[in-house]
Amino acid sequence: MIVAHKSADGRLQPLEEHLRNVAEYAKRFSEVFEAGEYAYVLGLAHDIGKYSAEFQEYLLHEGTGGDHSTAGAKELFRLRMLPASLCAAGHHAGLPDGGGPGDPAGLPTWQGRLKKQVHPYAAYRREITLEAVSRPPEANGFRIAFFTRMLFSALVDADFLDTEAFMQSGAVQRGGYASILSLFDALKQYIDPWLHPQGDVNPINRKRTEILKCCLEAGKGKRGLKSLTVPTGGGKTIASLAFALQHAVQHGLSRVIYVIPYTSIIEQTAKVFRAIVGAENVLEYHANVSFDQQGDDDRKTEKLRLSAENWDAPIIVTTSVQFFESLYANRTSRCRKLHNIANSVVIFDEAQMLPVDYLTPCVRAIWELVEMYGITAVLCTATQPSLGKLFPKTAKIEELCPNTQEMFHFFRRTQLKHIGTLTIEKLAGQMAMQTQVLAIVNTRKQAAELYQALPAGGRFHLSTLMTPLMRRWTLRNIRRRLRQGLVCRVVATSLIEAGVDVDFPTVFRAEAGLDSIIQAAGRCNREGKRPVDESAVYIFRTEERIPPRMQQNVSIFKNEIQLSFSDVASLEAIQAYFDALHNLKGDLLDRKKIVDAFERGRNGCMLPFAQVAKEFRLIEENTKSVFIPLGQRAKRLAQRLQQGECSRSLLRKAGRYMVNVYDQHFQELYRANDLVVVADGLAVLTNLRLYDTKGTGLSLEADAGKALFV
């Protein structure tokens, strides 16, 4: 018997069985993008290198083994199935760069691998027949690369699943989620009191219900590219879910995926969804999730942990970073889930937060998923950026709630007022005269200084110098005090702007881009409980230099929008702002020329999968992580980290206690012996005096010297 795997208890899996199982899985996964038969041949070929006598010796008697991936790549290349050949070559180490015809045999590119000498594997012909499956040729290099990556995802997931089933004797139970139809029934039950109210309904809730009905009706429409432009307070979270589930039922789509810029919004959104459809049907996927904390039912938690590997849950809530970086990744672990994006509804919440430097590759990926992989994409925001011109001219963006202008007027809750320059002391003085007030500044340095200048009673601070766990606790306390009418003066960085559900009578916002200012206004009079003329958002200039990353945005707002529009919060002003921002950036909307790398190659290399995967980083700040070991649970995790444990599960649990700092701050703390490094870019704080649990979080003033703030 030719063997594929040997289990710990000595059981053997026939190689033919493994190849046919993987082929069937890959076929099923790829049928949604019309590549089932093509993927089937890839599945049959991917491991034929294991037919070599040397690999069998390795597997059964601990011999040397050697490369078993290149054989499948060679055979698929012989059949002229080039994308499949690339996938076979990379199904363990990751998709390689395509390379060029002159690449020597020793080079790790696909072209180099094809010239590599491998152990004889012709024995596969006794059990497996490989016949070519052709696909229409594509002149578009980007489209070829995208297809290759989706095909790679189907193969990798298929390989993992069959191997797991054999090694665990079928003990791992995946799936078993509620159907999309039953989730839609749960949603209808949840929203029924809004659709059929008893008694009087206040005007705000009546308008929210109108938006909800509009989205439900739009869900019956055709698949494609959509937008949902709903002002803050319009209930877009549930309205967009209503559209998504209605649409998924209408068209037989597999799942709903929410793509959100900040983890704080993800946690808030996932909590709402769990209340509607049940916690076991919602996968919240980001660095701060610990699957042992999502519920008391170990079976349900284990199911979500498994779903994190390949996104087979019916509702996924994840970050923009995770979503887009995975679409341009080449590693097996990052790509495994991609095929499950096909045939889904994907909601891009807070779409205005898509990073400008990567806007073209992000938009290109969205359109490719819409046009070739059967998704319906919804650009969902309170301040719709002018993305339409970045899509192909053939793309039609349908607005789910067409009466956008009326909605903006109705949900207008604030007045924007520019009040000139304020020092930290003057701003603190103005805030001290307010019982409940929020100030949003541009740097963590300003936030810390302003917080210290406020009266001690009822003051709060929110920034990324606090652990996610501390930020969550602080937000809970802020919301409680706001509800109870207690003194609540909050200083925050921009992390509070996008989607964080708080409602202040007065907001101060340091000069920023118009999108940030509008988002800040969404934290003022959010529920419309106060008259508009008593709900002010004060825009002020600081004495500190505008951070470089914001300078162009601020310049456009000051020099174009403020000078041209009496109402800078109007839809027309928002459109003009984003048009100017995108025109200003020009070619810099794809600063690293990601799309061009696949269209034309890079450095003589065709299809540079590995190169692009290294370069495509939505968050490029040179930061390192500091673990804060406060509390018994955190101390136990710190002990495991210091003992050298570095599993993905451990790091996910530890994420709730992490603070990310710039490299110069990390080095300052290290030189002062305030932390101990446990891995590359990760340290445990040893001087706990530097972490203020009731205020600003991690101080960047090391005991041995003064660190810098950014």
Residue % of the chain over a pLDDT of 90:
63
| Tens of pLDDT, residues 495-537 | 887 667 889 999 999 999 998 898 899 899 987 888 888 899 9
Q: Which amino acid, one-letter code, is at 332?
A: T
| Tens of pLDDT, residues 392-447 | 888 999 999 988 888 888 888 898 999 999 999 999 999 999 999 999 999 988 99
627 confidence band (pLDDT: 50, 70, 90): very high
Per-residue pLDDT, 63: 66
| Tens of pLDDT, residues 551-576 | 989 999 998 998 899 888 888 888 88
Per-residue pLDDT, 293: 42
Please indicate, yes or no, if residue 582 is contained in any of the structural domains: no
If you ran DSSP here, which 8-state letter would residue 382 be given?
A: S
Neighbours of 185 (CB within 10 A): 15
Contacts of 354 (CB under 8 A, 6+ apart): 320, 348, 362, 363, 385, 387
| Tens of pLDDT, residues 236-272 | 899 999 999 999 999 999 999 999 987 767 888 899 9
Sign of CA dihedral 514, 355, 389, 553: positive
Clarify whether residues 425 and 325 are in a common domain.
no
The H-or-E segment that residue 397 falls in is strand 397-399
Per-residue pLDDT, 411: 84
Contacts of 251 (CB under 8 A, 6+ apart): 223, 376
Clarify whether residues 95 and 224 are in a common domain.
no
Clarify whether residues 189 and 268 are in a common domain.
yes
Contacts of 95 (CB under 8 A, 6+ apart): 86, 87, 89, 148, 149, 152, 330, 335, 609, 610, 613
Q: Decide if pLDDT at 709 tops 50.
A: no
Per-residue pLDDT, 547: 86
Clarify whether residues 194 and 336 are in a common domain.
yes
Please indicate, yes or no, if residue 703 is contained in any of the structural domains: no
| Tens of pLDDT, residues 20-73 | 999 999 999 999 999 999 999 999 999 999 999 999 998 888 766 678 999 999
Number of domains in the chain: 4
Q: Which two tokens stand for residue 393?
A: 């001219």
More confident position, 621 or 88: 88
351 confidence band (pLDDT: 50, 70, 90): confident
pTM over 0.85? The answer is yes
The CATH number of whichever domain residue 397 belongs to comes to 3.40.50.300
Per-residue pLDDT, 705: 39
Cα 168 → chain centroid: 31
* 3-class DSSP state of 228: strand
Place of tokens 């590693």: 331
Please indicate, yes or no, if residue 613 is contained in any of the structural domains: no
Clarify whether residues 449 and 362 are in a common domain.
no
Decide: 274 and 183 in contact? Cβ < 8 Å: no
Q: Decide if pLDDT at 700 tops 80.
A: no
Decide: 318 and 286 in contact? Cβ < 8 Å: yes
Clarify whether residues 417 and 394 are in a common domain.
no
Residue at which a domain ends, from 146, 167, 188: 167
| Tens of pLDDT, residues 276-330 | 999 999 998 876 555 544 444 556 677 777 888 899 999 999 999 999 999 999 9
Give the up-direction half-sphere exposure of residue 34: CA atoms within 13 A in the CB hemisphere.
7
From the list 447, 495, 453, 455, the residue with the least C-alpha distance to 475 is: 495
Please indicate, yes or no, if residue 248 is contained in any of the structural domains: yes
* Dihedral pair phi/psi, residue 68, rounded to 5°: -115, 5
Per-residue pLDDT, 549: 83
Residue at which a domain ends, from 112, 141, 167: 167
Clarify whether residues 264 and 143 are in a common domain.
no
Contacts of 127 (CB under 8 A, 6+ apart): 2, 15, 16
Please indicate, yes or no, if residue 461 is contained in any of the structural domains: yes
Give DSSP secondary structure letters for 401-416.
S--HHHHHHHT---EE
Contacts of 554 (CB under 8 A, 6+ apart): 511, 512, 513, 546
Clarify whether residues 376 and 469 are in a common domain.
no
Residues forming beta bridges with residue 587, ordered by sequence position: none
* Dihedral pair phi/psi, residue 265, rounded to 5°: -75, -35
Q: Decide if pLDDT at 623 tops 70.
A: yes
385 confidence band (pLDDT: 50, 70, 90): low
Mean of all residue pLDDT scores within the chain: 90
What is the residue range of 247's domain?
A: 180-403
381 confidence band (pLDDT: 50, 70, 90): confident
165 confidence band (pLDDT: 50, 70, 90): very high
Sequence-ordered alpha helix ranges (H) in 65-140: 70-78, 82-89, 110-114
Decide: 101 and 55 in contact? Cβ < 8 Å: no
Please indicate, yes or no, if residue 44 is contained in any of the structural domains: yes
388 confidence band (pLDDT: 50, 70, 90): confident
* 3-class DSSP state of 379: strand
Mode of pairing for the β-strands spanning 397-399 and 682-685: unpaired
Clarify whether residues 351 and 454 are in a common domain.
no
Per-residue pLDDT, 707: 35
Please indicate, yes or no, if residue 46 is contained in any of the structural domains: yes
| Tens of pLDDT, residues 99-144 | 999 999 989 999 999 999 999 999 999 999 999 999 887 778 999 9
Per-residue pLDDT, 383: 63
Burial class (CB in 10 A: 0-12, 13-18, 19+), 339: buried
Residue % of the chain over a pLDDT of 70:
94
Clarify whether residues 556 and 667 are in a common domain.
no
CA dihedral of 104, 105, 106, 110, whole degrees rounded to 10: 90
Residue at which a domain ends, from 167, 197, 229: 167
Q: Which two tokens stand for residue 169?
A: 């004797």
Give DSSP secondary structure letters for 172-202.
-----PPPHHHHHHHHHHHHHHHHS-SS---
Clarify whether residues 240 and 340 are in a common domain.
yes
Angle at 448 between CA 442 and CA 450, to 5 degrees: 80
201 confidence band (pLDDT: 50, 70, 90): confident
Please indicate, yes or no, if residue 187 is contained in any of the structural domains: yes
Clarify whether residues 162 and 187 are in a common domain.
no
Per-residue pLDDT, 522: 86
Cα 381 → chain centroid: 16
| Tens of pLDDT, residues 446-505 | 999 999 999 999 999 999 899 989 998 999 999 999 999 999 999 999 888 766 788 999
